[in-house]
Structures are given as structure tokens and as C-alpha cells.
Structure 1
Amino acid sequence: MKLSILEQSPISSGQDATDALRRTADLARFAETLGYTRFWTAEHHSTSGLAGSSPEVLISHLASVTETIRVGSGGVLLPQYSPYKVTENFKVLEALFPGRIDLGVGRSPGGGQTIRMALTDGVQKSMNEFPRQLSDMQGFIDGTLPKEHDYASIKASPLTSTLPKTWVLGLSSRGARHAAANSTAFMCGHFIQPDNAEEAMDAYLNNFQPSERQPEPKAAVCVFVICADTEEEAEHLAQTQDMWLLNVEKGRTTKIPTPEEAAAVTLTTEEEKKVQENRKRAVIGTPQQVKKELRRLAELYHTDEIMAITNIFDEEKKKHSFRLLADAFRRDDF
């Protein structure tokens, strides 16, 4: 089983963006020592609790402080940008770090109407353009735009001997079919919409169109994971992520609360139900419990790779969670 990490660069209570980005770089270095396959950064805008608003810039830094782990975006909000510019950004990264760059793109609008308009400098764009943008981006990456295409005469610079690997991030069968039709890898967002994940993965695998760049389908699934030495400790750590998710959904502060702040909140019946519903997006427990459940999900989704995301308050316990996870999959006694 391959293990990877999605890092949103969350800002914890009492800290700032500089702290969060330092922690992200430290985690990337740590993940490499543990043998994780890839380390992705997210793109979020107009939020006080997530520091990762520019994955391209952060990828460049993370790749420079590591040596072998693949680094990528999870993901670029393609509907808000030019496929040509996105391609050139990632080809520069590929030239700097050959064979290590993943270009993950998603159909997400990136926020409300004001954010979308700010990202496009007031130009109206439609998410319905995503299939065309994805096709154009792939054509720019490997130089396969049709002769009749408006941009067939231009090249995406720099020309490189290796190419970034394209992934489509999706939550449903629609996104999965876009990935399949364009011969890209597919990352399924179980950590956002677990109820759609099995259908999405099946849609990708059943409709995949092989190509020279991607002769076989490649799919992975992203899951919230919290791993600790005991069930009690795992539950204690999960409270800060539970409250963070609830606050995000309620439009409150998006910083990760301390355990004391999380424990001090009295939840309504509705909020308690929401916390339990959100637990379906996560795998929480001891190494043995987490490994068993992730293996079940991998079998259900027909994948050999799990991408873990962990948004808890304590930096060292977050690193310990990733250490326990990596160690669990190296063991064969459970």
C-alpha cells in the first residue's frame, strides 16, 4: 500500500500563517523520511485558518527542502485560471525538480462569487468549461493539441525531458469521468463526500481511456486519518478536528482550536449529529484499527494508494500520527 499526505497548512489557535507554513515544510521533510509517496498542498482563499493559497509557490519551496518525495497540488482551481499559464507554472517546477511534480486540478470554484471574480480579475468564468480546460491543459503539457486548435502553434515553456503528472481531483462520478476521458490519474475525495466515493471510483475505472502518457488507470483516495497509541488518545486528538470541521461548516473561525477550547464547547443536538456525520469522512483509532479500515477502503475503491489528511491542533502528535500510520503498513503482524 502506498501512503501519501494532503496538507492544507492549517493555522492553529494562537499561531499565524508563518507558523503554519513552517510546519508544512517540516512535515514534508518528515514524510520523506517515513517513505511517503507524495506530499500535496491545497488551494484555499479568503480564509483566516488555512495558509495555503498558492500551491505553486509552496510546491517550489517544499521540493527544495526535500529530495525524493513527489510534491504536488491538491489542487489548482482550474476553472479560475488559464490552462496555458497553469501548464507553464508546473513545467517550470518540473524543470527544477524532474520526475517529482504532480499537477492536481479540480473543478471547485474556490469560494463565493466575490472570490471567484477576484481570482479572474472580474472576468466571468464557468465551471462548465472544466472539461475543455482540462483537455487544453493536457494538450499543452505534452504538445498534443489538434492542428485545428486556436493555440496549436504555441508551446508551453520550458520544454522538458520529463512532464508533471496530471491528476484530477473529484467528489463524484462526473469528475471521475473527466479524468477517465482525458487519461489522467484520479484522486477521490472521501474526506469531503464519502457517500459518493465508491460510485466515483467505479466510474473512473470503468471509463478510463488509455493513452501514451497514462496507459493504465491510476486512482487514489484521500481520507481524514488520526492515528494514536490508544483509542482514548485518538478520540482526544479527534475532538480538535471535529470542532474545526464544524466551525468551517458553520462559518465560524477556521483556525484549529486547542483541546481545551474544543472541550469547552457545548454542542447542540444538531451539532452533535453533524459531528457524527463528519466522522464518516475520517478513520480514527490505533495503528491496528486504522490499518484495518484503510485496507477495507482500499479494497472497496480498488486502489493501492491512500492519501491521508490530518488537521489536529498539536504539531508533534500530528507527526506521530503519520509515523504510526507508516509503521503500521510496514508491519505484517496485524
Structure 2
Amino acid sequence: MMKLSVLDQSPISKGQTAEDALQHSIELAQWAESLGYHRYWVAEHHNTNGLAVSSPEIMITRIASQTSRIRLGSGGVLLPQYSPLKVAETFKVLEALFPGRIDLGLGRSPGGGQRTRAALTDGVNKPLSSFSRQVKELQWFLNGTIPKEHDYYGVSARPHTTTNPDIWVLGLSERGARHAAINGTGFTFGHFINPTHAVEALTAYREKFKPSAGLQHPKVNACVFVVCAETMEEAEELALSQDMWLLQVEKGLETRVPSIEEVKDHTFTASELEKITRNRQRAIIGTPEKVYQELLRLENVYQTDEFLIITNIFDFNAKKRSYQLLADYIADREN
């Protein structure tokens, strides 16, 4: 059966606050669990007015305490800005608190502009090219297997736990896939950001995969924008806020989600309409049947049975309904 999971960026709709968005994330996670979603990941963003979570670790703790079964994780911690030991320790504590439910998703993104990144690293120049080395060291810290010749020999992440978080690397290209493959982690393909290099990335991941202490065989999921409604007309209307939001984010103008009314009042330029058309390649919009059929197509292309669904629309109740319609349809279709 197709596995459905959630990626939540905790978007703030215009007219609402960060506090509202964070409470919505808790409610959505509980809703997703009740619908049978497999995992719930929260994203990390900095210096932005429209995405509420700058500390996924705190949100994971809060949501895990309000749920009982669904896996919780990061999508993902921006490792280049941080110490691998500190990240390992944080997720060891999470694993101790919620055994067998924690995922550690890792991203290579700088986390924002040059000033934002400098502030995150306290002015230390940490090259993004160190990412793969950091992933390897993080695994060593988790497992207590730092080689004797390493400067950090004898250091392991505490507390000691009988299990470790599952590690995933998020990526869009062959480079990202290689980071996951050579370190033996799961690989999350970001279809919702750019699906262009999917086949090359996933082929590289599977061909270059090396087993690790945490994972013996390649493991893939993919993240896709989805807006689902009972009719195509309703789905298209709901998606207007996501269309406009993506335009604003890409222009660096605004990251709060606009209302449908605001979008309808906007006069789009030819270039904006062209960009919306291109962005729709990152999304599936339609009835439950249409969304399911498109996911089946991607399942065949990506050779994965799990999709992380991200829905950034203005109306929170319509967002919950979107997740419900899809989950109910797949359950009825495949059971």
C-alpha cells in the first residue's frame, strides 16, 4: 500500500501569527496520525516572516508529546551550519524520549542569505563542501564508532540509547544523492522544489549506495506539493494561494501565504503566468482520483511507495480536508 507522509513548513497565512501557524502544525500532525499517515517532518527556515519553524528539534518534541504512533522528524536540519556532535546529541535525546519514532533528515542548504548563514555559524566559515564529511561524523557520533586516528576519537553522542534515529539526506540532484549513497542513509528527493533531475539522482543513489550501520539497502521517498479537493474546480481555486505564494517566495518579497481573494485581485504579468505553469510541474492538483493516479505515475518513476505531501494553501481547514480526501481515497482503493 502506498505510504503517505507529511512535510510541514509551518507556513503563516496572511492575517495570522507565527503562534497560529505553530498551533496549526500540532493540530495537523494529530490529524495526520488519525488518518494513518506514516511520518510527519517539520522543516527548518531562518530569517523569514512566513515560515514559523527555525528550530525543528523543538517542534518535533512538542508534536511527539501530542501524538502516539506517527514517526516525527526533520525535513531537514541544515547540517552545514552546525556541529555534527551537537545534532547527534539532540536527536539522541529525542530518540530516548520517543523510542523508535524519530527521523533525522539532513539538508545541505545554507539556510538563507550570506548574512543569515554567517549569523548561524557565528561568523565561522564552514564550507558547504564539508557536508558529506559531516554526515559521516554524525553517524560515527551516534554509533560511538569514531576511528582511532580521528581527532575526536573517544567522543560519542549521549545519552546512550538502544536505538538510533533513522537518517535521511534530502536532495535534488546527483550530488545530493551521492551524499546519501556513500554514507548509507535514506534519500528524500525534493520533487516539490525541482523534479528535473529525478531519474539521474535516484539512479546515482541506488548505484552508489553503500550499506551502513543504520541502513543495509537503499531507501527512497519523495516530497510533492499536493492540493486535493472534491472537484477539480475547487482544487484549482485552493491552489491559487499556493501559486502566488511560490511566486512571492522566489522573488524574495513575501513568504506569508496570501488569501484566494488577494490572488484574484492581482493582475499577473505574462512572465508570472509562465512561472506558475512551470511551478505546477512541482505539484499535483485535483480530485483524490487524479492525485492518486499522478502519485502512481511517480511511484513507477521513482520506484518508491512513500510520498511526503506538502500543502501550502491559505485556508487551514481546506488543508486538513486535502490530506483527508487523499488518505481516505487511497485507503478505500488499496484495502
1:221 aligns with 2:227: no
Q: Which residue of 2 aligns with 1:267?
A: 268
Q: Distance in 2 between matches of 1:143 and 1:328?
A: 44
In 2, the alpha carbon distance for the partners of 1:21 and 1:229 equals 27
1:187 alignment counterpart: 188
Once the two structures are TM-superposed, the CA of residue 212 in structure 1 deviates from its matched residue by 3.6
Deviation, structure 1 residue 331: 2.1
Given the alignment of the two structures, is residue 253 of structure 1 paired with residue 254 of structure 2, yes or no?
Answer: yes
Question: Which residue of structure 2 lines up, in the alignment, with residue 135 of structure 1?
Answer: 136
> Take 2:326 and 2:61, find their aligned partners in 1: how far apart are those partners?
26
- CA–CA distance in 1 between the matches of 2:53 and 2:213? 33
1:102 aligns to 2:103 (yes or no)? yes
Q: Which residue of 1 aligns with 2:327?
A: 326
Alignment partner of 1:75 is 2:73 = no
- 1:67/1:204 Cα in 2 relative to 1: closer, same or farther (>3 Å)? same
Structure 1 Cα separation of the partners of residues 209 and 63 of structure 2: 31
**Structure 1 residue 205, shift from structure 2 partner:** 1.3
Report the residue type matching 2:256 in the other structure: K
Out of 211-220 and 295-304, give the one that drifted further: 211-220
Shift of 1:333: 7.8
Letter in 2 for 1:292: Q
1:2 aligns with 2:37: no
Aligned residue in 2 for 1:284: 285
Shift of 1:332: 2.4
Per the alignment, in what secondary structure is the counterpart of residue 126 of structure 2?
A: coil
For 2:274 and 2:34, locate their aligned partners in 1 and report how far apart those are by CA, in whole Å: 39
Using the TM superposition, give the Cα deviation of residue 203 of structure 1 relative to its aligned residue in structure 2, in angstroms: 1.1
Distance (whole Å) between structure 2 residues aligned to residue 211 and residue 325 of structure 1: 34
Give me the TM-score of the superposition, normalised by structure 2: 0.98
| TM-superposition CA deviations, 1:288-323 (whole Å, max 9, x none) | 000000010011011110110000000111000000
Shift in CA distance, 256/5, structure 1 to aligned 2, threshold 3 Å:
same
Q: Which runs of 5+ in 1 are unaligned?
A: none
1:177 partnered with 2:178: yes
Give the SS at the match of 1:332.
helix
Q: Distance in 1 between matches of 2:172 and 2:140?
A: 24
Are residues 333 and 148 of structure 1, via their aligned partners in 2, closer, same or farther at CA, if it must alter by over 3 Å?
closer
Contact residue 144 and residue 155 of structure 2 kept, 8 A = no
Using the alignment, how far apart are the partners of 2:212 and 2:43 within structure 1?
Answer: 28
Offset, 1:104:
0.3
Aligned residue for 1:314?
A: 315
Alpha-carbon distance between aligned partners in 2 of 1:32 and 1:332, rounded to the nearest angstrom: 19
Using the TM superposition, give the Cα deviation of residue 201 of structure 1 relative to its aligned residue in structure 2, in angstroms. Answer: 1.2
Q: Give, in angstroms, the shift of residue 328 of structure 1.
A: 1.7
Structure 2 spans left out of the alignment, 5+ residues: none
Q: 1:331 is paired with a residue of what secondary structure?
A: helix
Deviation at 1:152, TM superposition (A): 1.6
Give the 3-state SS of the residue equivalent to 2:41 in structure 1.
strand
Asked whether the equivalents of residues 311 and 319 of structure 2 are also in contact (C-alpha less than 8 Å), the reply is yes
Give the conservation status (yes or no) of the 8 Å contact 1:202–1:301: no
| 244-253 or 5-14, which deviates more | 244-253
Given that residues 73 and 103 in structure 1 are in contact (C-alpha distance below 8 angstroms), is that contact kept between their aligned partners in structure 2? yes
Whether the aligned pair in 2 keeps the contact of 1:83 and 1:134 (CA below 8 Å) is yes
Partner Cα separation in structure 2 for residue 167 and residue 97 of structure 1: 18
> 1:78 touches 1:130 (CA, 8 Å); kept in 2?
yes
**Distance in 2 between residues matched to 1:58 and 1:145, nearest whole Å:** 30
Quote the residue 2:16 is aligned against.
Answer: 15
Instruction: Classify the secondary structure of the residue corresponding to 1:72.
Output: strand
Tell me the C-alpha RMSD between the 2 structures. Answer: 1.0
**Superposition misfits of 4+ residues, deviation over 6 angstroms:** none
Taking the aligned partners of 1:161 and 1:264, their CA distance within structure 2 comes to 56
SS across alignment from 2:333: coil
Query: Deviations along 1:137-168, whole A, 9 cap, x unmatched?
Result: 01111122212111121121000011111000
1:53-68 equivalences under 5 Å are 53-68=54-69
Q: Within 5 A, what are the aligned runs for 1:196-235?
A: 196-235=197-236
Instruction: Tell me the TM-score normalized by structure 1.
Output: 0.98
Q: Contact 1:190–1:223 at 8 Å: present in 2 too?
A: yes
| Distance in 2, Cα, partners of 1:139 & 1:280 | 38
SS in 2 for 1:225: strand
- Structure 1 counterpart SS, 2:137: helix
Q: Give 1:157's aligned residue.
A: 158
Q: Is 2:226–2:284's contact at 8 Å kept on the other side of the alignment?
A: yes
What secondary structure does 2:323 align onto?
Answer: helix
Counterpart code for 2:244: M
Is the Cα–Cα contact under 8 Å of residues 5 and 36 in structure 1 kept in the other structure?
yes
- Contact 1:74-1:105 at 8 Å conserved across structures: yes
> Could you tell me the percent identity over the aligned residues?
60
In the alignment, which residue of structure 2 is the partner of 1:146?
Answer: 147
Aligned residue type for 2:198: A
